[in-house]
Amino acid sequence: MILSIRPIPRAFTFAMLIRRPRFWLVLLASLVLHLVVWQSSRLTVRPPPEPAPQAIAVSALIDTPTPPKPLELPKEVVRAPKIKPVQTARPTDNTAPAESSNPKPSTPPIAHDIAPSPPGPTETPPPMASSSATPGNLEEPGNGSLDDLIASTGGPSASPRDKAKESPPEKASVPASDAPTRFDPPPSAKLEYQIVGQSKGFNYNVTGTSDWRVDNQQFSFTTQASMLFLYSFEFKSVGRFDQYGLAPLRYTEKRGRRAEQATNFNRDRPDSPQTISFSSATQELPMVAGAQDRNSVLIQLAGLARGEPDKFSQSGAQQVYVAGTRDAEWWTFNILGLETIEVAGKPHQALHLNRKPRKEFDQTIDVWLGSDLEWYPIKIKFSEVNGDFLEQTLANIVKY
């Protein structure tokens, strides 16, 4: 059988294809397959090229011994100058001899002579404070802050600004009167003070105490105060008596959390000169007759006024060699006369002493000694050049 195949018209074939759903499915599947293949070729993750190996340089440090240099001797040998030993003044025949170190407990302290004899030709003059002293602990306040004022209750502290511009040394004058001045220390007591002040516009009001004790020719004087939990300080002087009055042996300062600073009066040296040494400085100063510290100087003035009240009631000046925590210098207290000071709501007569500033940024110190209150310091005031001040007034006396 012979089959004859007729050619299909082109128009008829296209029309037949577009009417069949299978055609569209095959076409759609082909398009999807091509799209997947094309997209997969784009998302192929190619590994990053491996970094080229870095060359490691190995170095070794080899100490090659070098021949030592020949020792060169100096052409001239400089010898240190010889230091002459310090000689201290000894009491003359007209001064009262020192008392026995073990008197009877019932015997009250006997007044002593305090007028030092004129220095002889072999006596070494006391050096003054030097700005080249080793600073030691630099945490000592000295910028007019609250620490400066509150800490000054036991005596003003030397600040770095005070040392930067220091005036020439002030020579002490020897009293012209031949009659020795009598020294009579006040009785043991606890002095309670009310302290007010101002520092950089900040006003404060705190309480403080001064504990003065005399026992068997030995003394101790402790001054302390605290301002809530913000600040506290304690100054303590211990020593004995001699022909000039108080003879401090050790003075300590403790301010807040700072380390304690000490000043030692090396009086018991039979085979070496007597000196004043400091824990905050390397210098060592010669001992001066009647030398005091910043805390004991208040009781020293009270004992001098009790010994000869008539002499202290007159105008004049009293000079005391005062040691701090780094150096020592002469303090001159001018006697301004009797004034009325109110203590615990009652008026009392008090002798006014004033120490003027000796150099820039120095303090003015005013002390009032109660003539009818055993000559205790009933009022003390420290004034700064910028207007800041600290003033403590006696509020109560508790005698032992």
Question: Each residue of 35-53: pLDDT tens digit?
Answer: 888 777 665 555 556 665 5
Please give the residue that has the higher pLDDT: either 64 or 182. 182
Sequence-ordered list of residues with C-beta below 8 angstroms from that of 308, at least 6 positions apart, any chain: 181, 182
With a cut of 50, say whether residue 141 has pLDDT above it: no
CB burial of residue 369 (10 Å; 0-12, 13-18, 19+): buried
Q: Report the C-alpha gap between 261 and 104 in whole angstroms.
A: 35
Selected residue with higher pLDDT from 58 and 241: 241
* 54 pLDDT above the threshold of 70: no
Q: What is the pLDDT of residue 27?
A: 83
- Whether the CA torsion 214, 301, 357, 201 is positive or negative: it is positive
Number of residues that make up the chain: 400
- Of 377, 102, 114, nearest to 215 (Cα)? 102
Mean pLDDT across 228-243: 88
Choose among 159, 231, 235: nearest CA to 197.
Answer: 231
Average pLDDT over residues 230-237: 87
- Residues 243 and 111: their CA atoms lie apart, in Å, by 8
Give pLDDT, residue 10. Answer: 54
Q: At residue 229, does pLDDT exceed 70? A: no
Q: What whole-number distance in Å separates Cα of residue 375 and Cα of residue 162?
A: 31
Per the prediction, the chain carries an average pLDDT of 73
State residue 305's pLDDT score: 93
Nearest 5°: phi and psi at 163? Answer: -75, -25
The Cα–Cα gap between 87 and 273 comes to 6
CA distances from 124 to 118, 130, 289, 321 (A): 12, 17, 12, 15
Percent residues over pLDDT 70 in the chain = 59
CA pair distance 168, 165, nearest whole angstrom: 10
pLDDT for the residue 348: 96
The full 3-state SS of 262-308, as one line of letters, equals EEEEECCCCCCCCEEEECCCCCEEECCCCCEECCCHHHHHHHHHHHC
Residue 40's H or E segment, with its range, is helix 21-42
Work out the pLDDT band at 127, boundaries 50, 70, 90: very low
pLDDT of the residue at 393: 96
CA distance 287 to 392: 31
